[in-house]
Structure 1
Amino acid sequence: MMASRILMQRVCCVLVRDLRGSSSYSSSLTASATVQPFLSRTVLRSSCRSVSFNVQDHDDFTERVINSQLPVLIDFHAQWCGPCKILGPRLEKAIAKQKGRIAMAKVDIDEHTDLAIEYGVSAVPTVIAMRGGDVIDQFVGIKDEDQLDSFVEQLIGQ
């Protein structure tokens, strides 16, 4: 289900980009009673540059994190972890401030134990910063919003 939703979002983003590049963009949207509601519901309200995502499996991790053109923060968390529930929204907020210059991958350690072991995660929350497939920095535990903003800005500035 999640994979089909991601695929639909990517297809719709391409469609919107193609329509915006065409001179008949506004007329094609207003002329079609079925396209307008579909686009406004599925694409225009969702971000084509979605920078936060849940890792589905090891191949997804490789494609969207290791091979990413953007720097990526990896949030290793667990559903049962209280501090993770506090840190997650703070990370989302810090990432959103960067307006697409950095991505965030969320990895549930109970679902993806192999990735947690591979990256030496021994406690949650653990946040690892990567660029070009290389680990740049990391921390364990909670940070306040100012510390997170600083952490993210350092990753972008490197």
Structure 2
Amino acid sequence: MGENVKYVTLTDDNFEAEVLQSEVPVLVDFWAIWCGPCRMIAPVIEELAAEYEGRAKIGKLDVDQNPRTAMQYGIRAIPTLLFFKNGQVVDQLVGAASKKMLVERLEALVGAEAA
């Protein structure tokens, strides 16, 4: 791992700057260390961060360490994946989604940028 991690570690403090003010669409993975399905999709999240570098931002927010943001978005089950565009939630998935499903959702957002 080390230096080549492409996703952004999101916190209550940087959420506005990193997500709400982002120039590109953002996928936020709300997760926690004790959550099995969260750990299952972690490698997929990391792959997407590398594949979409420059076109979309991928971030992970630990709900235990950042309860304010999790509460603000009504996160009750994890993993919850929220897709943001221009500071607004435009899509969401709850549970361990497949990479194919995530790619489809991201492509819809990124593709709309290019159009």
TM range, normalised to the smaller chain?
0.7 to 0.9
Give the TM-score normalised by the residue count of structure 1: 0.64
Give the TM-score normalised by the residue count of structure 2: 0.87
Asked which structure has the greater CA Rg, the reply is 1
Following superposition, the deviation at residue 97 of structure 1 comes to 1.8
1:59 aligns to what SS in structure 2?
A: coil
Following superposition, the deviation at residue 59 of structure 1 comes to 3.1
- RMSD, aligned α-carbons: 1.6
CA distance in 2, matches of 1:51, 1:68: 16
Whether the 8 Å contact between 1:84 and 1:124 is mirrored in structure 2 is yes
- Structure 1 partner of 2:8: 53
Unaligned runs of 5+ in 1: 1-45
Q: Which runs of 4+ in 1 moved over 3 A?
A: none
Report which of the two has the higher share of strand. 2
CA distance in 2, matches of 1:145, 1:135: 20
Following superposition, the deviation at residue 134 of structure 1 comes to 0.6
CA distance in 2, matches of 1:94, 1:105: 10
What is the aligned length?
110
Percent identity (aligned): 35
User: Which of these residues, 82, 90, 94, is aligned with residue 136 of structure 1?
Assistant: 90
- The reply to whether residue 125 of structure 1 matches residue 79 of structure 2 is yes
- The reply to whether residue 109 of structure 1 matches residue 63 of structure 2 is yes
If asked which structure has higher relative contact order (CA below 8 Å, sep 6+), I would say 2
Unaligned runs of 5+ in 2: none
- The reply to whether residue 154 of structure 1 matches residue 113 of structure 2 is no
